[in-house]
Protein backbone atom coordinates (compact mmCIF):
# COMPACT_ATOMS: atom_id res chain seq x y z
CA UNK A 1 0.00 0.00 0.00
CA UNK A 2 1.36 3.41 -0.95
CA UNK A 3 1.74 6.17 1.60
CA UNK A 4 -0.54 8.63 -0.23
CA UNK A 5 -3.70 6.54 -0.21
CA UNK A 6 -6.39 5.28 2.11
CA UNK A 7 -7.59 1.77 1.28
CA UNK A 8 -10.80 -0.02 2.24
CA UNK A 9 -12.41 -3.43 1.88
CA UNK A 10 -16.15 -3.68 1.38
CA UNK A 11 -18.10 -6.92 1.54
CA UNK A 12 -21.26 -7.92 -0.31
CA UNK A 13 -24.28 -9.17 1.67
CA UNK A 14 -23.67 -12.58 3.21
CA UNK A 15 -19.89 -12.34 2.83
CA UNK A 16 -17.36 -11.67 5.57
CA UNK A 17 -13.62 -11.37 6.10
CA UNK A 18 -11.26 -14.15 7.11
CA UNK A 19 -7.87 -13.03 8.39
CA UNK A 20 -5.14 -15.68 8.34
CA UNK A 21 -1.64 -15.26 9.74
CA UNK A 22 1.15 -16.09 7.30
CA UNK A 23 3.45 -18.46 9.17
CA UNK A 24 6.96 -17.08 9.56
CA UNK A 25 6.21 -13.74 7.88
CA UNK A 26 6.67 -10.49 9.82
CA UNK A 27 6.60 -6.79 8.99
CA UNK A 28 9.62 -4.52 9.40
CA UNK A 29 8.30 -3.64 12.89
CA UNK A 30 8.08 -7.34 13.82
CA UNK A 31 4.30 -7.72 13.60
CA UNK A 32 2.80 -10.86 12.08
CA UNK A 33 1.64 -10.66 8.46
CA UNK A 34 -1.95 -11.64 7.75
CA UNK A 35 -3.86 -12.21 4.54
CA UNK A 36 -7.48 -11.36 3.90
CA UNK A 37 -9.92 -13.62 2.13
CA UNK A 38 -13.67 -13.60 1.67
CA UNK A 39 -16.01 -16.14 3.25
CA UNK A 40 -19.67 -16.72 2.44
CA UNK A 41 -21.60 -16.55 5.69
CA UNK A 42 -25.18 -16.50 4.35
CA UNK A 43 -26.04 -18.31 1.13
CA UNK A 44 -29.56 -16.79 1.19
CA UNK A 45 -28.23 -13.21 1.14
CA UNK A 46 -28.93 -11.05 -1.93
CA UNK A 47 -26.32 -11.45 -4.65
CA UNK A 48 -24.39 -8.57 -6.19
CA UNK A 49 -23.80 -9.18 -9.87
CA UNK A 50 -20.65 -7.94 -11.57
CA UNK A 51 -22.38 -6.45 -14.61
CA UNK A 52 -24.81 -4.44 -12.45
CA UNK A 53 -22.06 -3.17 -10.16
CA UNK A 54 -19.72 -2.30 -13.03
CA UNK A 55 -22.56 -0.32 -14.67
CA UNK A 56 -23.32 1.40 -11.34
CA UNK A 57 -19.72 2.63 -11.16
CA UNK A 58 -19.75 3.70 -14.82
CA UNK A 59 -22.94 5.71 -14.16
CA UNK A 60 -20.92 7.58 -11.51
CA UNK A 61 -18.06 8.50 -13.84
CA UNK A 62 -15.76 5.51 -13.39
CA UNK A 63 -14.00 3.91 -16.34
CA UNK A 64 -12.17 0.64 -16.82
CA UNK A 65 -8.45 0.92 -16.23
CA UNK A 66 -6.76 -0.26 -19.40
CA UNK A 67 -7.70 -3.81 -20.36
CA UNK A 68 -8.46 -4.77 -16.77
CA UNK A 69 -11.74 -6.57 -16.14
CA UNK A 70 -11.41 -5.98 -12.41
CA UNK A 71 -10.08 -2.45 -12.06
CA UNK A 72 -11.98 0.83 -12.51
CA UNK A 73 -10.97 4.40 -11.70
CA UNK A 74 -12.30 7.95 -11.57
CA UNK A 75 -10.29 11.14 -11.85
CA UNK A 76 -6.57 11.83 -11.76
CA UNK A 77 -4.46 14.32 -9.83
CA UNK A 78 -0.84 15.39 -9.98
CA UNK A 79 1.26 14.14 -7.08
CA UNK A 80 5.00 14.13 -6.35
CA UNK A 81 4.97 10.67 -7.97
CA UNK A 82 3.29 11.87 -11.19
CA UNK A 83 -0.36 11.66 -12.20
CA UNK A 84 -2.31 9.24 -10.02
CA UNK A 85 -5.89 8.01 -10.01
CA UNK A 86 -8.14 9.67 -7.42
CA UNK A 87 -10.33 6.64 -6.74
CA UNK A 88 -9.59 3.08 -7.82
CA UNK A 89 -11.91 0.10 -7.35
CA UNK A 90 -10.98 -3.57 -7.68
CA UNK A 91 -13.85 -6.01 -7.97
CA UNK A 92 -13.34 -9.43 -6.39
CA UNK A 93 -15.07 -11.72 -8.83
CA UNK A 94 -16.64 -15.10 -8.23
CA UNK A 95 -17.97 -15.98 -11.68
CA UNK A 96 -20.60 -13.29 -12.24
CA UNK A 97 -21.10 -12.49 -8.54
CA UNK A 98 -19.14 -9.87 -6.57
CA UNK A 99 -18.08 -10.94 -3.10
CA UNK A 100 -16.10 -7.86 -2.18
CA UNK A 101 -14.49 -4.63 -3.27
CA UNK A 102 -11.11 -3.11 -2.58
CA UNK A 103 -11.21 0.68 -2.89
CA UNK A 104 -8.33 3.15 -2.78
CA UNK A 105 -8.72 6.91 -2.32
CA UNK A 106 -5.79 9.18 -3.18
CA UNK A 107 -4.72 11.46 -0.34
CA UNK A 108 -3.78 14.98 -1.47
CA UNK A 109 -4.25 18.55 -0.29
CA UNK A 110 -7.80 18.34 -1.77
CA UNK A 111 -8.78 15.41 0.48
CA UNK A 112 -10.77 17.39 3.09
CA UNK A 113 -13.00 18.80 0.32
CA UNK A 114 -13.42 15.33 -1.25
CA UNK A 115 -14.52 13.52 1.91
CA UNK A 116 -18.25 14.33 1.51
CA UNK A 117 -18.18 12.93 -2.06
CA UNK A 118 -16.32 9.79 -0.92
CA UNK A 119 -18.77 9.33 1.93
CA UNK A 120 -21.75 9.64 -0.43
CA UNK A 121 -20.20 7.07 -2.79
CA UNK A 122 -19.69 4.56 0.03
CA UNK A 123 -23.16 5.25 1.46
CA UNK A 124 -24.70 4.61 -1.97
CA UNK A 125 -22.85 1.26 -2.23
CA UNK A 126 -24.33 0.28 1.10
CA UNK A 127 -27.81 1.45 0.18
CA UNK A 128 -27.96 0.18 -3.39
CA UNK A 129 -26.17 -3.15 -2.95
CA UNK A 130 -26.00 -3.87 0.79
CA UNK A 131 -22.22 -3.62 1.08
CA UNK A 132 -20.57 -3.33 4.49
CA UNK A 133 -17.15 -1.81 5.18
CA UNK A 134 -14.40 -3.54 7.15
CA UNK A 135 -13.33 -1.62 10.25
CA UNK A 136 -9.88 -1.34 11.78
CA UNK A 137 -10.40 -4.51 13.84
CA UNK A 138 -11.62 -6.51 10.82
CA UNK A 139 -15.25 -6.19 11.89
CA UNK A 140 -18.00 -5.46 9.36
CA UNK A 141 -19.66 -2.08 9.78
CA UNK A 142 -22.46 -0.32 7.94
CA UNK A 143 -21.25 1.97 5.17
CA UNK A 144 -22.54 4.89 7.24
CA UNK A 145 -19.42 4.34 9.40
CA UNK A 146 -17.09 5.24 6.49
CA UNK A 147 -15.92 8.53 7.99
CA UNK A 148 -15.09 6.81 11.29
CA UNK A 149 -13.09 4.14 9.47
CA UNK A 150 -11.35 6.77 7.30
CA UNK A 151 -10.17 8.88 10.23
CA UNK A 152 -8.59 5.76 11.81
CA UNK A 153 -6.58 4.95 8.67
CA UNK A 154 -2.84 5.28 9.39
CA UNK A 155 -2.01 7.06 6.15
CA UNK A 156 -4.95 9.43 6.61
CA UNK A 157 -3.78 10.25 10.14
CA UNK A 158 -0.25 10.98 8.88
CA UNK A 159 -1.56 13.26 6.14
CA UNK A 160 -3.97 14.97 8.54
CA UNK A 161 -1.11 15.78 10.90
CA UNK A 162 1.33 16.81 8.15
CA UNK A 163 -1.20 18.98 6.28
CA UNK A 164 -2.98 20.35 9.35
CA UNK A 165 -6.37 19.13 8.16
CA UNK A 166 -9.34 19.91 10.37
CA UNK A 167 -11.89 17.13 9.86
List phi, psi (to 5°) of 63. -130, 155
pLDDT band at residue 76 under the 50/70/90 scheme? very high
Give the pLDDT score at 32.
Answer: 72
Report the alpha-carbon distance of residue 132 to residue 11 in Å, rounded: 5
3-state secondary structure string, 54-85?
HHHHHHCCCEECCCCCCEEEEEEEEECCEEEE
Could you tell me the pTM of the whole model? 0.85
Give the pLDDT score at 81.
Answer: 87
Burial code (b: 16+ CB inside 10 Å, e: under 16) for 54-74 equals beebeeeebeeeeeeeebbbb
List phi, psi (to 5°) of 5. -150, 155
Q: 83-142 pLDDT, tens per residue?
A: 999 999 998 666 788 888 999 999 998 999 999 999 999 999 999 999 999 998 889 999
DSSP string, 15-41: EEEEEEEEEEEE-TTSPEEEEEEEEE-
89 CB-near residues (< 8 Å, 6+ apart): 57, 62, 71, 72, 73, 101, 102, 103, 104
Give the pLDDT score at 105.
Answer: 97
CA count, 13 A, side-chain hemisphere, 146: 25
Q: 15-66 pLDDT, tens per residue?
A: 877 666 777 777 777 777 766 666 677 778 899 999 999 999 999 999 988 7
Q: Give the chain's domains with CATH numbers.
A: 5-23+31-163 (3.30.1400)
Amino acid sequence: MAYNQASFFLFAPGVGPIMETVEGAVTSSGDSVSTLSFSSSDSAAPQVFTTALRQWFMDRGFARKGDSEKQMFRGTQPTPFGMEDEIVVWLSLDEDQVTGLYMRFLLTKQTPEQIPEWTNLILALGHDFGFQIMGANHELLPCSDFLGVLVQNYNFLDFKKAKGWVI
